[in-house]
Chain A
Amino acid sequence: MIRRIAIAALMLAALSAAPASRAQDEQGPPLLDGQFSFDSFFGTIDLPAAQRGLQIYTEVCSTCHALDELSYHDIEGLGYSEEQAKSYAANFKVADIKDDGSPTQRTALPSDKFVHPFPNEAAARSANNGAVPPDLALVVKARKGGANYVYSLLQGFSDPPAGMKMNAGMNYNKYFTAGSGQIAMPQPLQDASVTYADKSPNDLKSEAHDVVTFLEWAANPELNARKQMGVKVLIFLVVMTGILYFAKRGIWHDVH
């Protein structure tokens, strides 16, 4: 039996070593570790940090980046009340039609999707030096390295290394391996880009941490509920496995 377990463990080790070997292939510096609240097995999203992140998204990111999959009422998942979601939505205007069919702009309702910064992709491209700012709702899931990648990228801007030839309008970011270090986005966050009402630290590192916490929530709004249910499911399964183990032994004791 022990030999079998050892074999199974070896196979698992071989399987888990495979992704690591590819990670080494990727050029680029090792990512910064954001030490996020949701990193650990049972860890959940730190809602106050995610709320501060929403402020950063609203004041900074939303100038160029959409949040496609989300509606304004979704921010109730960050701990806001229905009233707060309503007043947050009221900051935005959405296109609609009047009863006579003529186009109009009205105040956004909680049921409206987050407004897009650009009317269409061509407008986004032409306003951004030919690059389309990616949608942020899934960005944490859609990049290798996940939250730590976005966290690193936000802090990875600097002057290009000596001798590196930059294309016109591009910025240097050592974590942007997909573009060999050249990214169309200028550094979006600096120290004190936002001022928090709760006087939380607003240096670049803290801002990056907060906005990535928000983006993790935007990509996985079910995360807290999922992990809470997971704990219950695991407790149930472990107890059931134990009961079934003894039931099996009891039933089999007269066989051999």
Chain B
Amino acid sequence: MAAPAAPVSAQHPLVRWIDHRLPVFSFMQKELHDYPTPKNLSYWWNFGSLAGITLVIMIASGVMLAMNYVANADMAFESVERITREVDYGWLLRYVHMNGASMFFIVVYIHMFRGLYYGSYKAPRELLWMLGVVILLLMMATAFMGYVLPWGQMSYWGATVITNLFSAIPWIGSKIVTWLWGGFSVGNPTLNRFFSLHYLLPFVIVGVVGLHLIALHQHGSNNPLGIDKKGPQDAIPFHPYYTIKDSFGLAVFLIPYAIIVFFYPTGVFAEADNFIPANPLSTPAEIVPEWYFLPFYAILRSTPDILFIPAKLAGVILMFGSIAVQFVLPWLDTSPVRSARFRPVYKWLFWILLADMIMLGWVGHNRPDRIVAGFQITTFGWIGTLWYFFHFLILMPLVGKFERPLPLPTSISQAVLAAKEAK
């Protein structure tokens, strides 16, 4: 164990003077240094700090791109090309930013599935989880509007398709769409407001991330065993143990990120059609959203008519419902045990859910009229959609009641020592 750092009161008189009036130093001492953290966190716990760092990378590169970008329907496409070609290291900024969006979603999705597996959303961390879902929604809105800014074919037609979803709302739908567009089609006013919001929302995300961290530090991180810390022997200070572990994780993360940025900047995540300037008169053969929207896009497109609700409206409801259900997840899961390690049934359901999401992504990636094994692909999409809701709305409450969990270890340190002796 490292010795605890000297308290603020023992430091330089100027530090003490400031801290007496504005306690930034004792705050950092408490929250970044001493902050007691479970000693058994696995590498799956690296993705929270990675998400935070990726957010900073996105904002830093985005602010510099905005200095050179022109939000005008006649000039946007060319201004992005100018950034890539003429601005010093503009290509680096652009490729860091456009691929960073995908890296951000990879990190955040892993972060969320980790929370699902280890029950990190359960009491007393319900608000922590819900704030995370708010961040996800804000990220989706930001990413969608950011994708519109280069004003390529997929920007334009993606914006048209997604904003048109609101036309499914009965009676007032088409009025809402006109209001969103600022005109009678996606056009210059749409581009301008999307740019404004794309610059604004990341700072809203920063604010919600702040709340997310306050909620986290109230009770501290969950851990792979899902049991509470029983005393000081279960915890270690955040610094240096987790600062070094997070730094190592960051370096590992930056390697594939750099490989994409420097060697395949437009080959992994980019769509060829978006290198053709937006043309309202020519619809691309296929309008595909970015990969991180594909499971939700599959839900939207696979939903059939339900009773008196037309398919389009039903699809929109279920697509938004698939996120909304996450807000009530802490109350749908009735099991008192957090970690799936001790939940023999839920553990399997988790992996099935992950497979279900990947299948939905695959469905979203394909044309809806594709035939697979004799069925239209949307059949698989509809089965996947039903399973998604069945998992959260039916299985989660029931399994918690009927599952017989494995015996929990008495404490984190006891489990850590037992594992060490077994080696």
Q: Is the interface of A mostly helix, strand, loop or mixed?
A: helix
CB contact under 8 A between A256 and B81, given known A178-B285, A237-B258: no
CB distance from B289 to the nearest CB of A (A): 14
Q: Which residue of A lies closest to B285 (CB)?
A: A178
CA distance A230 to B361 in the complex (A): 31
Known interface pairs A233-B258, A234-B258. Does A251 touch B244 (Cβ–Cβ under 8 Å)? yes
Say yes or no: A244-B247 contact (C-beta < 8 A), given A25-B366, A144-B272, A252-B241: yes
Check if A252 sits within 8 Å of B262, measured CB to CB.
no
A159 beta carbon closer than 8 Å to chain B? no
The minimal Cβ–Cβ distance linking B337 to chain A, given in whole angstroms, is 22
A81 CB, nearest partner CB in chain B, Å: 20
Among B22-30, B65-73, B209-217, B249-257, the stretch that binds chain A is B249-257
- Shortest A47–chain B CB gap in Å is 17
Given contacts A229-B262, A230-B258, A238-B255, contact A245 B241 (CB under 8 A): no
Of the candidates B91, B236, B366, which one forms a contact with A22 in the assembled complex, judged by CB atoms under 8 Å apart?
A: B366
CB-based nearest A residue for B245: A248
The B interface is mostly helix, strand or loop, or mixed, namely helix
Residues A226 and B275 in contact, CB atoms below 8 Å apart:
no
Assess whether A25 is in contact with B367, with CB atoms less than 8 Å apart: yes
18 more A-B residue pairs beyond the given contacts A141-B266, A230-B263, with a C-beta to C-beta distance below 8 A: A15-B358, A21-B365, A21-B366, A25-B366, A69-B85, A221-B85, A227-B263, A230-B262, A234-B255, A234-B258, A234-B259, A241-B248, A244-B244, A244-B248, A248-B245, A248-B247, A252-B244, A254-B1
Task: Tell me the B residues contacting A by CB distance below 8 Å.
Answer: 1-2, 39, 78, 81-82, 84-85, 91-92, 236, 240-241, 244-245, 247-248, 251-252, 254-255, 258-259, 261-263, 265-267, 270, 272-273, 275-276, 285, 291, 358, 361-362, 365-367, 370, 416-417, 420
Contacts of A248 in B (CB 8 A): 244-245, 247-248
Looking at chain A, what size class is its interface with the partner chain?
35 or more
- The reply on A14 being an interface residue by CB < 8 A is yes
CA A233 – CA B260 in complex, angstroms? 12
Contacts of A142 in B (CB 8 A): 272-273, 275-276
Residue of B nearest to A222 (CB): B91
Chain A residues near B276 (CB-CB < 8 A)? 134, 138, 142
Q: List B contacts of A221 (CB < 8 A).
A: 85
B82 to chain A, nearest CB (A): 8
Nearest CB to that of B258 among chain A residues? A233
> Looking across the interface, which residue of chain A has its beta carbon closest to that of B90?
A222
Most buried by B among A22, A146, A245: A22
